[in-house]
Structures are given as C-alpha cells and as structure tokens.
Structure 1
Amino acid sequence: MKSLIMMMALTMLLKPVFPVVDYIVNYDYIAKVLCENKTKPELKCNGKCHLMKEMAKQAENEKPIQNNKKQATLEFEVLFFQEIASLQFTQSNGDDKSITLDCYSNHYFHLNSDAVFRPPIFSC
C-alpha cells in the first residue's frame, strides 16, 4: 500500500518532467519529423520547438486545476447568538436567617503535594 502511494506521489511530482523525458527518448523522431524548423537548419532547433509546445501544454493543463480550487473555495463566518435573560438583583441586609440552603454539599478536595517528580536515575 505504501509503495502504491509513493508511486502516485512520485508520478504527480514528476508530471511536468514527462515532456522532457519524451523528448530525450524520442530525440531522433522529434528532430526529423515533428520539428517545425526543419527547413531552417541554421537555427539548430533539433526539435526544441516541439519540446517547448509540449511543456506549454503541460503548464496549461495545470492552470485550470489551480483556478478551480480557488473559485470553489468559499468561506463563511457563522455567528451563533443566544440572548441572555436579564438578571434581577435585590438588596439584602443579611438579617433574613429563615432561608436555609439544603442543597449545599462540600465535595471540594485538595491534595497538597510538595513532592516534585524526578525521573529515575539509570547508571551504565
């Protein structure tokens, strides 16, 4: 599975190089048949014009992919809003002892640990 992924990644990275490899492999055929400047040997083109066209096609094929990604990406900011109920404050002078809170529970726990973790010492 890893080798398949590596092959795909390598193929994608080397895709722009394929026209150059094709030019090197088929040099004789491109220089004699596909070259546009066969009638002008003083230019010493040897099929480089065909290579430039192939590289331009490769670059053109990659551009729409990048443009589509930019156009397809839209960002929206979503804001959730919940209205807070208004609070009513009343003043108390503290004399009213008839109100008792039975729901109070003391579940607070604090571990007072002064020890600092020290990793074990290994001797060689």
Structure 2
Amino acid sequence: MRSVISYILLFSIMLPTLSPWGTIAYFKLNRDYIARVLCENRARPQMHCNGKCYLAKKLKQQQEKQDKETSEKVQNTPVIQLFTSPFHSYSFETSPAVFLEKVRFFHQLQCYTAPAAKLLRPPKR
C-alpha cells in the first residue's frame, strides 16, 4: 500500500514536467487528424508542415502558461525580513583578557614525549 501511495505522489510531483511530453504524444497519436483539420498551413501542402505548426503553438501556450503561474507564485510569496533596520545601534563593553598563569601552547605535547620515546624504537633481533 505504501509503494502505491509513493508512486502516486511521485507521479503528481513529476506531472508538470511531463506535460510537454503529453502534448507531443497526443500530436504523434493524432497526426493525421491534426494535419487535415487543425493545421494552419493545410491549404499550402507544399510547405510539408503536417501539423508541426499546431504542435509548436500548443507547446508555446503551455510554456507561457507555466511561466505565468510561476511568476504569480513568486509575486504572491510572502517576504520575510531577516535583518533589522540600520537605525538601531548596539554597543558592547569589552574588557581585556587577563591570564593568571603563563600560557603554554604545547603543554599536551610535553606529556607524551617520554612514552613516545619508549614506543618508537627499532625492533630487536
């Protein structure tokens, strides 16, 4: 049951990208009817259009429709303000760091010098 639901969701997500392929499939299946009835150049058979003008027009309409829907979605998207206005100023009081002991940067390496000397010897024969 889960696999059926996942396939349905996958198909519904991919449907907008498959829309031009559906138009092309419709054109391939009904090429004779489109060439005889719907073609703009059916009166001029020397052009050998065979309905390609109809296909181009339908694909262009789909692209314009998709672009219009995308632009409407972009325009209707709410804007979230992530930054505050520059009129607010913040100040932080800083105090210099004071170390009570001398800072040793290599204190960990000094602990391991003696055991490392015992471990890293050539093997005995």
The normalised TM-score by structure 1 is 0.58
Q: Which residue of 2 aligns with 1:76?
A: 81
Q: Which residue of 2 aligns with 1:52?
A: 56
1:24 aligns with 2:28: yes
User: Greater CA deviation, 10-19 or 39-48?
Assistant: 10-19
Q: How many residues are matched? A: 87
- Deviation of 1:56 after TM superposition, in Å, equals 1.0
1:65 aligns with 2:69: yes
Distance in 1 of aligned mates of 2:73 and 2:20: 19
Unaligned runs of 5+ in 2: 94-125
Give the alignment partner of residue 4 of structure 1, picking from 2, 5, 8.
Answer: 8
Tell me the secondary structure at the aligned position of residue 41 of structure 2. coil
Letter in 1 for 2:68: P
Tell me the secondary structure at the aligned position of residue 45 of structure 1. coil
Letter in 1 for 2:18: L
Tell me the secondary structure at the aligned position of residue 36 of structure 2. helix
**CA offsets per residue over residues 15-43 of structure 1, 9 Å max, x none?**
12221111001111001111111111110
Tell me the secondary structure at the aligned position of residue 4 of structure 1. helix
CA RMSD of aligned residues (A): 2.7
Letter in 2 for 1:54: K
Distance in 1 of aligned mates of 2:80 and 2:70: 17
- Deviation of 1:77 after TM superposition, in Å, equals 2.8
Distance in 2 of aligned mates of 1:37 and 1:12: 30
- Deviation of 1:70 after TM superposition, in Å, equals 2.2
User: Greater CA deviation, 9-18 or 44-53?
Assistant: 9-18
Larger radius of gyration: 1
Tell me the secondary structure at the aligned position of residue 9 of structure 1. helix
Deviating 4+ runs (over 6 angstroms): none
Distance in 2 of aligned mates of 1:70 and 1:9: 19
Q: Which residue of 1 aligns with 2:44?
A: 40
Larger helix proportion of the pair: 2
Tell me the secondary structure at the aligned position of residue 70 of structure 1. helix
Distance in 2 of aligned mates of 1:2 and 1:45: 42
Alignment of structure 1 residues 79-94 onto 2, 5 Å: 79=84
Tell me the secondary structure at the aligned position of residue 38 of structure 1. coil
The normalised TM-score by structure 2 is 0.58
